[in-house]
Amino acid sequence: MPDRLAALLERFSVTAQVFHVGTLCGVNLLEAEGDPGQLHLVKEGAVEVFHGNGSHRVDVPSLLLYPRPMSHRFVTDPVRGADMACANVRFDGGAGNPIAASLPEFICLPLAAIDGASPVLDLLFDEAFAQRCGRHALINRLFEALMILILRQLMERGEVRGGMLAGMSHARLRHALVAMHESPAKEWTLEDLAVVAGMSRSVFAEAFRKTLGITPGQYLQGWRVGLAQQALRQGRSLKVVASDVGYGSEAALSRAFKAHVGMAPREWKRGQAPR
């Protein structure tokens, strides 16, 4: 059986870069800057976090994930504080990344509730609070491994409501999604996808719309356009990209691109900041 998560991460990677390890005391404001989200690990201590119009209190070792940029404020005991490790998390493609787009704006999980995370967390904290050469590079990789464990758990437990990850959690729809992810250039029909999912055409179409909020055709177009954006950022020509993602010509890709993004590919590319 194809690995539904690997196919996503091969196309749209997730990278982490640690920016804080140690004790936070009192009030600390983290402003949303650029396109990264943030992942915070509370190793010990009580934390109250404020964001948007809400707040959340953490009294046990926990993970706090902001998949997309969002300003937030931590309030801890001014003397004892809280021991934390924090990293910026970048989803390849920014806001257009299908993984980031399908996650809720804030996720809080007790560390003990993350399946398989104990050895990763033990090593991460051991490295974070020591002074060894290469520690930051290793901590970055461990944060990335932790992100994979979180995504796996959200999909396997069906804890995402709506969007692509909800579809990847569905026992049958996920087969059709993986097929589109692995072969985006194929001329998929509704009947083809229903067969892959092991469902009738009508039941498949209804289940897809109900679970993901869009039709299979709209999803496929969005996936292809996302791949095209990624390739254009890498400097590939529009003609080659059009063929690779399943469009017979530059004009066909441009029409689909404009319908999905609101502007032509070349106009969109001019507005992209260099990585």
Does the fold of domain 170-270 match that of domain 4-156? Answer: no
Mean predicted lDDT score pLDDT of the chain: 90
Query: According to the model, what pLDDT value does residue 116 have?
Result: 92
* CA-based nearest residue to 41, from 153, 160, 116, 142: 142
Residue 95: predicted pLDDT: 64
Query: What is residue 102's predicted lDDT score, i.e. its pLDDT?
Result: 84
Across 126-145, average pLDDT = 92
Q: How confident is the model at residue 163 (pLDDT cuts 50, 70, 90)?
A: confident
Report pLDDT for 1: 55
Q: In this model, does residue 18 exceed pLDDT 90?
A: yes
Q: Helix axis angle, 118-128 relative to 135-156, nearest 10°? A: 150
252-274 mean pLDDT: 85
pTM of the entire predicted model: 0.83
Helices vs strands, H then E, count in the chain: 12, 9
Q: Residue 54 and residue 73: Cα distance in Å, rounded? A: 11
Is pLDDT above 90 for 40? Answer: yes
For domain 170-270, the question of CATH label 1.10.10.60 is answered with: yes
Classify domain 4-156 by CATH number: 2.60.120.10
Measure Cα distances from 172 to 33, 185, 244 in Å. 39, 22, 27
Dihedral sign computed on CA atoms, order 248, 253, 259, 260: positive
Q: What is the pLDDT of residue 275?
A: 47
Q: Does the pLDDT at position 2 exceed 70?
A: no
| Mean pLDDT, residues 196-220 taken together | 95
Percentage above 70 pLDDT, the chain: 97
HSE, side-chain direction, 13 A CA sphere, residue 20 = 18
Q: Taking 80 as the threshold, does the pLDDT of residue 139 lie above it? A: yes
Give the per-residue pLDDT at 132: 87
Domain edges within the chain: 4-156, 170-270
pLDDT tens, 215-238? Answer: 999 999 999 998 998 888 888 888
**Between 275 and 3, residue with greater pLDDT:** 3
Q: Residue 273 pLDDT > 70, yes or no?
A: no
Mean pLDDT of 262-273: 83
Q: Give the pLDDT score at 80.
A: 93
Report pLDDT digits (tens) over 86-131: 999 998 877 668 888 888 899 999 999 999 999 999 999 999 888 8
For residues 141-150, average pLDDT: 95
Residue 55: which pLDDT band, with cuts at 50, 70 and 90? very high
Helical packing angle, 173-182 and 190-197, nearest 10°: 120
